[in-house]
Structures are given as structure tokens and as C-alpha cells.
Structure 1
Amino acid sequence: MIQPDDDSLRLALAEVRDLQRTVVVLRSELELSHNERQHAVQDALSFAHSEISQLRDTVAALRTSLERLTQEKLDALQQANTVRHAEIAQLHDTIRALRDTLEARA
């Protein structure tokens, strides 16, 4: 059997230690990368939720504004109808009065 000499044993042990250190460094870098990715995902989700909330608030405000404008339009139409009916009634009264005056003269 071949016996390894002390130098080759030392070299092999040094290489094993170097590989172990490399594994530790790579593991740390991988964990750091994973944590950074998780943080980026959380930031993106937070931003998305914030934007969704703002859009919902905008939609609610626009809906309220539209409902208010619709109601104002309906109120204006109702008021215009009331004025129109009052004018028509006044014109009928004027026609009746003129007719009565003409009939009284005839």
C-alpha cells in the first residue's frame, strides 16, 4: 500500500478547508440573495396593495361625483318641468281671461 506523505496530506486538508470556506461563503450569499428577493417581493406587494387602495378610493370618489351630478341633473329637469307647467297654466289663465274679455265685448 501507498502511504500518503505529510505534504500531500496537508495539501488535501488545506483544499478541504478551502472548499468548506467556499461552501460557507456561497451559502451566505445564497441566503442573502434569497432575503433580498423576498424583500423585493414584499415591497412590490406593498406597492401593489397601495396602488389598488388608491384606485378604489378614486373609483369611489368618481362614483360619488357621478351620482351627485346625476341627481343635480334630475333636480334641474324637475325644476324645469315645474316652471314649464307653471308657465303653461299662466298662459291658459291668460287665454281664458282674454276669451272672457272678448266674449264680454261681443
Structure 2
Amino acid sequence: MIQSDDDSLRLALAEVRDLQRTVVVLRSELETSHQERQHAVQDALSFAHSEITQLRDTIAALRTSLEKLTQQKIDALQQAGTVHHAEVALLHETIRALRDALEARA
């Protein structure tokens, strides 16, 4: 019976050692998994930040381009208006001159 108790004790101790080794291995795997997850999160955050920065830069460039085009359009309209007014004034002068010439003949 003592030998049986000794065998049982040895088996129990062996099982305890195996379980302790398993705990150590599982703890190590858990820490590795946690580190990998943290690294993946950092990579995702870095990528997202980079993409946000790129999108902001694109928006700023597009806004600047739109403002430039809008100003060019305004300038072109003003120039066309100036040319139109000058042409109308020239036509009025021509009409007056022709009217004066007709009245002078009559």
C-alpha cells in the first residue's frame, strides 16, 4: 500500500509538473498573442492616420483648385462684361455719328 501511495504521489507530482509546464507555455502564447494584437492595432492606427492625412491634403488641394477656378471664372465674366460695355459704347458712338451725318445731309 505504501508503494501504491508512492506511485500515486509520483504520478500526481508528474501531472502537477506537466500542468505547470502547460501553464507556462500557455502564458507565453497568450503574451505573444497580446503583443501581436497590439502590433496589429498600432499598424491599423498608423495606416488610418496616414490615410486621414492624405485625404486632408487631397481635400485642401481640391479646395484650392476649386477656388482658383471660381476666381478665374469671375475674372473671365468681368472681362467679358467690360468688353461688352466697351462694344456697346462703341456702337452708340457709331449710331450717333451716323445720325449726325444723316441729319447734316438733310
If the TM-score is normalised by the length of the shorter chain, which range does it land in? over 0.9
Runs of 4+ off more than 3 Å: none
Matches within 5 A, 1:1-106: 5-106=5-106
3-state SS, counterpart of residue 76 of structure 2: helix
Distance 1:5 1:86 in 2: 119
Gaps of 5+ in 1: none
Give the Cα separation in 2 of the matches to 1:77 and 1:5. Answer: 105
Q: One-letter code of the match for 2:66?
A: L
User: What letter matches 2:51 in structure 1?
Assistant: E
Taking only the aligned residue pairs, the percentage that are identical comes to 85
- Matched to 2:64, the amino acid is T
What is the alpha-carbon distance in structure 1 between the residues aligned to residue 38 and residue 50 of structure 2?
18
Tell me how far apart the structure 1 counterparts of residues 90 and 5 of structure 2 sit (CA, whole Å): 126
Alpha-carbon distance between aligned partners in 2 of 1:5 and 1:36, rounded to the nearest angstrom:
46
Distance in 1, Cα, partners of 2:31 & 2:82: 76
Unpaired runs of at least 5, structure 2: none
Q: Which amino acid is 1:14 matched to?
A: A
Report how many residues are paired: 105
